[in-house]
Chain A
Amino acid sequence: MTPAGPRKTAAYIGALAGLGLILAACSSGADPANYPEDDIDVIVPFSAGGPTDTVTRMVAEPMSEELGVQLVVQNVDGAGGTVGAGQAATAEPDGYTVLMHHIGMSTAPALYDDLAYDPVADFKPVGLVTEVPMTIVGSPDFEPTTFEEFVSHIQENADTVTMAHAGEGSASNLCGLLLMDALGVEVTAVPYDGTGPAMGELVGGQVDFMCDQTTNTTGQIEAGKVKAYAVTTPERIEALPDLPTTAEGGQPDIEVSVWHGLYVPAETPDEVVTQLTDALQVALADQMVIDQMADLGTAPVAADQATPEAHATLLQEQIESWGDIIGAGQGG
């Protein structure tokens, strides 16, 4: 080897500096002590503009302010939310990829036998966000006017009544399954591609009834374009104070709400999860978030629910109970 001349030395130094830069760039994401330094991707496994997307965008704003970096919503739609969740499961566990998912996280194992991830083992829960109540609504032409009449009507006319839902695995599909399970009837379920078209045909009287989230139904109920029968929560809700609960109507088993939660990949450091949970807590206490959610007939969860522990407990419970209901639906 010939001794290096000055020019060569400069080249070496340049190369080393370049390498150093690359290494610095690579390592910056992985240091939990400095978290967060860069924008955070929030994967929403549903299409933009849907209810889950809307909820995510509501909380992403104050969370961004709290963390000092931008939370960027990425819509990774497909296969009832399992494509986006699968992508999040295999993402770098550095806190820069977060998943917002709803109740579908707990129903996917029962609905898909070839699920590429395990909702419990592959993720760490960050906290619950909101529990969106569901409402049972009927088309303007549908005969029954009260929840009691509704129940007896569909029990007597199960073979002619039609129920809309927003596609396999959607919240409205799940609520429908639960309702049929609780009433011991089977009606014709008509799938639509999303909740918007389903609501359109319900308003137009093409189908008889649907069970959907208040985020979609409140506006239509208030305008009197659909008949509202009941809300599926234990208590009446503020946005629709005149609407009775299913329990008041004698059907306490029809209790369901579309809970939303934040997740990170399982190997994410606990410090990072704590920071995310804290930011979520701040966002859920934000008056603007509370107001926006109230307009849609929902509310942020209580502070003790927006924790990894409460989230993990609920997820486990829900996986078990939905496993039974969906299994029963498919068997019958």
Chain B
Amino acid sequence: MGPGYVPFALGLVLAGLGVAIVVKAYVAPDPAPGEAPADARANDSAVEDAPVDDAPADGGAPSGRAASDADVLDPRPLAGIQWRPTVAVFAAVTFFAVTVDGLGLLLATFGTGLLAALARRGTGPVRALVIAAGLTLASWVIFVVLLQLRLALVGDWLGG
């Protein structure tokens, strides 16, 4: 058994399972709500008519509603994805990964906090800046002052 044996075998199994899922979707689409994990949650969260703060009301015909859990089993799982939160959160984490060594903890935290805060519809630039600034301070206190983690505050690119 070489190093490639197990990954190769797993790849075949995964491909087989993929085909089975596709076939099953055509032959016998999941009918019972019990089959859907998130469906049940959606059902009970839909019953609850909790106050909705800035719920997405715009965004074109399907996407606004498609965002809710009830549509988790939308036949096109990618269809209801809102780009703003998805891209912003992805960008926020990626920004940290790319800059933490170069810019250092403080600036990386600030940038990540800013991008993440902007992921939410309804958070304006000023509010996002305030959140990011507060977050940078809080991270410094918790991770550097209290937990004494050895993280460079100012990175290599800035001569730290």
Partner-B contacts on A (CB < 8 A): 22, 25-26, 39, 41, 72, 74
Residues of A within 8 A of B154 (CB): 25
Q: Considering only CB atoms, which chain B residue lies closest to A29 in the complex?
A: B160
A41 touches B159 (CB 8 A): no
Known: A25-B160, A26-B159, A72-B150. 6 other contacts (CB 8 A): A22-B159, A25-B154, A26-B160, A39-B150, A41-B150, A74-B150
How far, in Å, is A321 (CB) from chain B's closest CB?
Answer: 28
Q: Give the CA-CA distance A60 to B159 in the complex, in Å.
A: 28
The 7 tightest CB contacts between A and B, nearest first, are: A26-B159, A72-B150, A26-B160, A41-B150, A74-B150, A25-B154, A25-B160
Q: Give the CA-CA distance A193 to B71 in the complex, in Å.
A: 44
How far, in Å, is B103 (CB) from chain A's closest CB?
Answer: 14
Q: Give the CA-CA distance A41 to B152 in the complex, in Å.
A: 12
A-B contact pairs, 9 of them (CB 8 A): A22-B159, A25-B154, A25-B160, A26-B159, A26-B160, A39-B150, A41-B150, A72-B150, A74-B150
Residues of B within 8 A of A25 (CB): 154, 160
Q: Considering only CB atoms, which chain B residue lies closest to A92 in the complex?
A: B156
Q: Considering only CB atoms, which chain A residue lies closest to B159 in the complex?
A: A26
Q: Considering only CB atoms, which chain B residue lies closest to A26 in the complex?
A: B159
Interface string of B98-110 (1 = CB under 8 A from A): 0000000000000
Residues of B within 8 A of A26 (CB): 159-160
Q: Give the CA-CA distance A63 to B131 in the complex, in Å.
A: 43
Q: Give the CA-CA distance A41 to B150 in the complex, in Å.
A: 9
Q: Give the CA-CA distance A22 to B106 in the complex, in Å.
A: 14
* Contact-residue bracket for chain B: under 10
* Max chain A Cβ within 10 angstroms of own Cβ: one of B150, B154, B159, B160: B159
* Max chain B Cβ within 10 angstroms of own Cβ: one of A22, A41, A74: A22
Residues of A within 8 A of B150 (CB): 39, 41, 72, 74
Residues of B within 8 A of A74 (CB): 150
Q: Give the CA-CA distance A7 to B16 in the complex, in Å.
A: 74
How far, in Å, is B100 (CB) from chain A's closest CB?
Answer: 15
Interface string of B131-160 (1 = CB under 8 A from A): 000000000000000000010001000011
How far, in Å, is A57 (CB) from chain B's closest CB?
Answer: 16
Q: Give the CA-CA distance A25 to B160 in the complex, in Å.
A: 7
How far, in Å, is B149 (CB) from chain A's closest CB?
Answer: 11
How far, in Å, is A145 (CB) from chain B's closest CB?
Answer: 34
Residues of B within 8 A of A39 (CB): 150
Q: Give the CA-CA distance A22 to B159 in the complex, in Å.
A: 9
Q: Give the CA-CA distance A72 to B152 in the complex, in Å.
A: 14
Q: Give the CA-CA distance A72 to B151 in the complex, in Å.
A: 12
Q: Give the CA-CA distance A39 to B151 in the complex, in Å.
A: 12
How far, in Å, is B138 (CB) from chain A's closest CB?
Answer: 23
Residues of B within 8 A of A22 (CB): 159
Q: Give the CA-CA distance A142 to B150 in the complex, in Å.
A: 48
Q: Give the CA-CA distance A50 to B154 in the complex, in Å.
A: 32
Q: Considering only CB atoms, which chain B residue lies closest to A41 in the complex?
A: B150
How far, in Å, is B143 (CB) from chain A's closest CB?
Answer: 15
How far, in Å, is A29 (CB) from chain B's closest CB?
Answer: 9
Q: Considering only CB atoms, which chain A residue lies closest to B153 in the complex?
A: A25
How far, in Å, is B116 (CB) from chain A's closest CB?
Answer: 28
How far, in Å, is B92 (CB) from chain A's closest CB?
Answer: 26
How far, in Å, is A26 (CB) from chain B's closest CB?
Answer: 4
Interface string of B47-69 (1 = CB under 8 A from A): 00000000000000000000000
Q: Give the CA-CA distance A22 to B158 in the complex, in Å.
A: 9
Q: Considering only CB atoms, which chain A residue lies closest to B148 in the complex?
A: A72
Q: Give the CA-CA distance A41 to B149 in the complex, in Å.
A: 12
Residues of B within 8 A of A41 (CB): 150
Q: Give the CA-CA distance A235 to B159 in the complex, in Å.
A: 51
Q: Give the CA-CA distance A74 to B152 in the complex, in Å.
A: 14
Residues of A within 8 A of B159 (CB): 22, 26
Q: Give the CA-CA distance A197 to B98 in the complex, in Å.
A: 36
How far, in Å, is B160 (CB) from chain A's closest CB?
Answer: 7
How far, in Å, is A296 (CB) from chain B's closest CB?
Answer: 28
How far, in Å, is A189 (CB) from chain B's closest CB?
Answer: 14
How far, in Å, is A307 (CB) from chain B's closest CB?
Answer: 30
Q: Give the CA-CA distance A41 to B151 in the complex, in Å.
A: 12
Q: Give the CA-CA distance A39 to B150 in the complex, in Å.
A: 10
How far, in Å, is B145 (CB) from chain A's closest CB?
Answer: 15
